A and B are shown apart, each in its own frame.
Chain A
Amino acid sequence: MKQTHSNKSHNEYFKVSHYTHVFEYGDSYCLLYNAKSNMLAHIPKEIGGAIKNSSSNPIFRQLLSHEGIKQKLIKGGFIVEIERDETQEALNIIRDARKVSSWLGITIAPTMACNFSCPYCFEPKESMGTMSDLTSQKLISFLESKLEGRKNLSVTWYGGEPTLAVERIEQLTKSIDKLVNDRNIALYCEIITNGYNLNSTIRKRLASCYISRYQITIDGPPDIHNIRRIPKSGKKSFWRIVNNIKPLMELYQVDIRVNIDRNNVDHIDALVEILSKEGILSHCSLNFSHVDAITSASSGYKGNCLSLPVFAKNAHELYRKNRNYLVNPPFPESPHTCSALGPNSYVIDSQGRLYRCWTGIGDDQESIGSIYNPENIEYSDTLSNFNIETNLSCNECNVLPICLGGCPYKFIILENSKDRCVKWKYTLQETIKDYADWSRVKTTNVLTNPKTC
């Protein structure tokens, strides 16, 4: 703590963090949450009351006189030194994200072709086909040039539908494997797929490519999913995808994404019930995602989208109603920024064009260059306009650390719309309370029914 020459006691050099939230919890307790530390505590209401009115409540100073309480408040980030500029500290996280780190993430579309035709797809519809041998060679050269000083490499296979180009994935993996082995770099691979092609042959081939996480989208019960996730063959996709997930989920991390808009929001309970009966939810996470229409290719779908605040309320209610089926209740992510802000992440389409963000893939206007001319990459792209330092509402926001301006792309495109924030902003109190409920039930169960490894 800062030393002082005045007569003030040390306790007067603490203030309640701008990011501390106090929520009443039953008759005798409160929940204490801090959006910077992302820690949560269950506290007597006397402490909660004193923190809520810290400037006028003498009990707040009494609390700080108790070393045990004071240390807990400091540890949780609930109080901070009075001279701390917490807003600047949060903004520094964004500044640091623009620096080179030891982590590199590349997202590769081995093909931009897709076997589905989903109405809300944000990618341009004209196909650019599958990656050529020459582009593949250029990609490896580009990647090699970016590996100096890296310790971790994350590869995400994307598209289009990446399983339409498994041979290219295999070939690129062999080359990438050599690059990382020569440099002792840790490799992590994942794939974003519609799951339709994941038969036993494809699964084996992808396993040899070290893919350890699958993200697969299911948008509702069969009758809803089948009109949103539509194979170009005209066949129905729901049960084929569900049956493809089953053998995967025992071996790998499978995250099921549910894209939610006005057309399916009332049908998600039915999906959860089916997935639970099929045993999927005891292995897979279920993530509710907001459908927006912010690219030119998806602009015609805008009328079907929910506003973010409405989506957030619906998503929270879905978690709450189906909590018995779900592995974990939702909780805000710790402070982090989008990887698109810095020189640590690239998206590469099948023609070798580079993008900062997945959202822009296939769109000429969003491309920042090509792996064919890596020296000409336009690094000072539109995301340099992501400057929340000058945005008063962000600077004053009491959940800034768990948002950090949200998606930079949306921040720029949507300007002052509420849709550019993170969903937690609209459901923080309910989310925190539900998490506390779940945690207390879990703790009780562990204490009364202990297991051993």
Chain B
Amino acid sequence: MTNAKLDMDKLNQDFEFVIDRAETDEETAFSDTIKNVRGSNCKKNWGEPCNNTSNQSCDNRGEGVTQCGSEGVSYCDKVNNQGCHGAGRFTIKPKRP
């Protein structure tokens, strides 16, 4: 590589994250990694946030039929005793039948 002057702005523009992990608290991260909980329809890689916002359905990248819990990207709530389909976070207590 030469020491020619580089267009730093262009290099910065072309610097793209493929996996950009959301910050998680230590406890969530620990739970995440102990139990790789993710819905069978989840199209996201383990650890990727599912782009949910509070109490909305998972988007097509998380692709689930679940509703998000209040934690947004932290974890998904569940309906009908299904697994978490969203962020792949540690699941919360299943809804009772």
Q: State the main secondary structure of chain B at its contact with A.
A: loop
Across the interface, which residues of B come within 8 angstroms of A102, CB to CB?
Answer: 27
Contacts A43-B14, A102-B27; A252 near B81 (Cβ below 8 A): yes
* Pair B90/A49 contact, Cβ less than 8 Å: no
Shortest Cβ distance from B44 into A: residue: A328
Number of interface residues of B (CB under 8 A): 54
Tell whether A254 is near chain B: CB-to-CB under 8 Å.
yes
Rounded to whole angstroms, the CA-CA distance of A260 and B85 in the bound complex is 28
Shortest Cβ distance from B6 into A: residue: A46
* Pair B21/A38 contact, Cβ less than 8 Å: yes
Residues of B51-78 whose CB lies within 8 A of A: 56-61, 78
* Pair A72/B90 contact, Cβ less than 8 Å: no
Across the interface, which residues of B come within 8 angstroms of A309, CB to CB?
Answer: none
CB within 8 A of B19: which of A40, A207, A335?
A40
Binds B, one of A63-71, A115-123, A365-373: A63-71
Across the interface, which residues of A come within 8 angstroms of B43, CB to CB?
Answer: 327-328, 442
Tell whether A37 is near chain B: CB-to-CB under 8 Å.
yes
* Distance between A209 CB and nearest chain B CB, rounded to angstroms: 10
* Pair A72/B17 contact, Cβ less than 8 Å: yes
Across the interface, which residues of B come within 8 angstroms of A264, CB to CB?
Answer: none
* Pair B40/A42 contact, Cβ less than 8 Å: no
Q: State the main secondary structure of chain A at its contact with B.
A: mixed
* Pair A59/B94 contact, Cβ less than 8 Å: no
Rounded to whole angstroms, the CA-CA distance of A188 and B59 in the bound complex is 24
* Pair A435/B18 contact, Cβ less than 8 Å: yes
* Pair B20/A69 contact, Cβ less than 8 Å: no
Rounded to whole angstroms, the CA-CA distance of A58 and B32 in the bound complex is 40
Tell whether B49 is near chain A: CB-to-CB under 8 Å.
no
Across the interface, which residues of B come within 8 angstroms of A435, CB to CB?
Answer: 18-19, 45
Contact with B along A186-225 (1 / 0, CB 8 A): 1111000000000000000001101011000000000000
Tell whether A143 is near chain B: CB-to-CB under 8 Å.
no
* Pair B1/A57 contact, Cβ less than 8 Å: yes
* Pair B81/A212 contact, Cβ less than 8 Å: yes
CB within 8 A of B93: which of A31, A97, A187, A283?
A187
Across the interface, which residues of B come within 8 angstroms of A105, CB to CB?
Answer: 34-35
Contacts A39-B21, A334-B33; A46 near B1 (Cβ below 8 A): yes
Which residues in A have some Cβ–Cβ distance to B below 8 Å?
29, 31, 37-44, 46-47, 49-50, 53, 57-59, 62-63, 65-66, 68-69, 72, 75-76, 97, 101-103, 105, 151-152, 154, 180, 185-189, 207-208, 210, 212-213, 249, 251-255, 283-285, 327-329, 331, 333-337, 339, 435-436, 439, 442, 446, 451-453
Q: Which 9 A-B pairs have the closest CB atoms?
A: A336-B33, A253-B83, A68-B12, A451-B60, A66-B8, A186-B93, A40-B18, A40-B19, A49-B1
28 A-B pairs within 8 Å (CB atoms) are namely A38-B47, A40-B18, A43-B16, A47-B15, A49-B1, A50-B1, A68-B12, A69-B8, A72-B12, A72-B17, A154-B35, A187-B94, A188-B37, A210-B96, A212-B81, A212-B83, A249-B40, A251-B82, A253-B83, A254-B40, A284-B40, A285-B40, A327-B42, A328-B46, A331-B19, A439-B18, A452-B60, A453-B59
Which residues in B have some Cβ–Cβ distance to A below 8 Å?
1, 3, 6, 8-12, 14-21, 27, 29-47, 56-61, 78, 80-83, 90-94, 96-97
